[in-house]
Amino acid sequence: MRALTIVLGTLLVAVQWPLWFGKGGWLRVWELQRSLEAQRQDNATLAARNAALAAEVRSLKEGREAIEERARQQLNMIRGDELFFQFVTPPQPAAAEKR
């Protein structure tokens, strides 16, 4: 009777081993689910960034205001009928010169 129990126990472990530790076992499935969730979060972040870029492209294609705003901010451009005033603060004398 004891030998039968050992044989059945060994067979049970032999049948369960691939289920838990095999190529398509539960541990591998849990690992894949974690990596899938991480990839979905990355995709959501990238989709939001793509949507923002698409909105910016659409704005640049459709409106002149967006192009003008970008030229003013990034290229420091002004219109032909505008005057540009630049106020420069004079350099402060060094501490050694004050003595």
> Average of pLDDT values for 1-14?
88
pLDDT band at 98 (very low <50, low <70, confident <90, very high): low
Global confidence as pTM? 0.50
More confident residue, 22 or 33: 33
Give me the residue spans of the domains in the chain: 24-75
pLDDT category of residue 14 using cuts at 50, 70 and 90: confident
pLDDT of the residue at 48: 97
The three-class DSSP label of residue 87 is: coil
What was the pLDDT predicted at 41?
97
Sign (positive/negative) of CA torsion 87, 64, 75, 81? negative
Give the chain's mean pLDDT: 85
